[in-house]
């Protein structure tokens, strides 16, 4: 099963979530794909992702986490023994998102909420000290204007890594990686 975890203020309506869903559906794998809407509260986002994997053996689950979704995926991989493809992942959202404290709005749903110190504390609480490199495929673009790709390369040292020159935080090259994501997930076309 592939579970796509979207980024900060995004949703399952994001371009990457939709593209991945269409790609898997074209291969008869739509029943093994989920893209849950992650609530703004980190603890609730983790619970939502865990609900999406309920009833599945952890080793049969591959998260595809984009930005903040990559941070969540890392926590879930280390907690449950799953795998993850990380797309321009957030490394320390409890630090990086401090600048955004205050009113936020989801880019797709329009939902408004207050980003607070408690959000930052919850992100800090789920940080994993070390990662099991073999469980990850890291895909980053050096032109990411939001996050420093070098932090991700360092954090996931030893993992399979694809570093693309240029691009941006949205990972412009995403469509080119769909076959590799499917292969890494261990799923087979229907």
Q: Residues 92-144: pLDDT tens digits?
A: 999 999 999 999 999 889 999 999 999 999 999 999 999 999 999 999 999 99
How far apart are the C-alpha atoms of 138 and 107, rounded to whole Å?
25
Q: What is the per-residue pLDDT across 23-63, written as a single tens digit (0 to 9) for each?
A: 999 999 999 999 999 999 999 999 999 999 999 999 999 99
Beta strand segments in the chain, E: 2-5, 33-34, 62-66, 83-87, 102-105, 112-115, 136-141, 160-164
> Which pLDDT score, from 0 to 100, does residue 64 have?
98
Assigned domain for 59 exists: yes
Assigned domain for 111 exists: yes
Assigned domain for 91 exists: yes
> Which pLDDT score, from 0 to 100, does residue 106 have?
92
Share of the chain above pLDDT 90, in %: 95
Instruction: Give residue 60's domain range.
Output: 2-185
**Please, are residues 48 and 38 in contact by the beta-carbon 8 Å criterion?**
yes
- pTM of the complete model: 0.96
More confident residue, 133 or 189: 133
Residues 6+ apart with CB under 8 A from 31: none
**Please, are residues 123 and 71 in contact by the beta-carbon 8 Å criterion?**
yes
**Please, are residues 87 and 16 in contact by the beta-carbon 8 Å criterion?**
yes
Rg (CA), the chain: 15
Domain count, the chain: 1
Assigned domain for 190 exists: no
61: domain CATH number is: 3.40.50.1820
Residue 70 reports pLDDT greater than 90: yes
Share of the chain above pLDDT 70, in %: 99
> Given the DSSP bridges, would you call strands 160-164 and 112-115 parallel, antiparallel or unpaired?
unpaired
């Amino acid at each position: 099963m592939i579970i796509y975890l979207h980024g900060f203020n995004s949703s399952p309506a994001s371009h990457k979530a939709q593209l991945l869903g269409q790609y898997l559906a074209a291969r008869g794998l739509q029943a093994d794909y989920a893209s849950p809407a992650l609530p703004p509260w980190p603890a609730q986002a983790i619970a939502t992702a865990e609900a999406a994997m309920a009833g599945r053996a952890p080793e049969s689950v591959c998260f595809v986490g984009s930005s903040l979704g990559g941070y969540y995926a890392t926590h879930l991989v280390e907690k449950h023994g799953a795998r993850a493809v990380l797309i321009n992942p957030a490394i320390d959202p409890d630090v990086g998102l401090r600048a955004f404290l205050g009113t936020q709005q989801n880019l797709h749903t329009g939902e408004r909420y207050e980003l607070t110190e408690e959000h930052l504390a919850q992100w800090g609480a789920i940080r994993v000290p070390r990662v099991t490199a073999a469980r990850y495929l890291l895909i980053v673009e050096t032109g990411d204007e939001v996050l420093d790709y070098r932090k991700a390369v360092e954090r996931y040292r030893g993992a399979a890594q694809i570093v693309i020159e240029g691009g941006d935080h949205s990972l412009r090259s995403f469509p080119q990686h769909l076959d590799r994501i499917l292969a890494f997930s261990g799923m087979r076309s229907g």
